[in-house]
Amino acid sequence: MTKINKKGLKKTTDIKKSIGSYRFEDKSLFIHLKTGQGSEIPALRADNLMELAAPDKIFEITRLRFLDEKLREL
């Protein structure tokens, strides 16, 4: 994914590390996005991810819950 930072510079990021898992169920896509600090897990917004998949479509994105590193609900 290529983004423009606050200084106007283009930055390319490998977003694969930010996606924990995904599944399709009842015509819906469920994605677990990882979060972290530093460069180990790059920041990824759900709307930016879906824009990559279908740039001309608007999606209804709903956050269901927060999980910790062991996938326990917070």
Average pLDDT of the residues in 21-37: 86
CB 42 within 8 Å of CB 19: no
Taking alpha carbons only, the member of 37, 38, 33, 36 closest to residue 48 is 33
Residue 67: pLDDT above 90? no
CB 32 within 8 Å of CB 65: no
Average pLDDT of the residues in 38-61: 86
Encoded tokens for 10: 């283009």
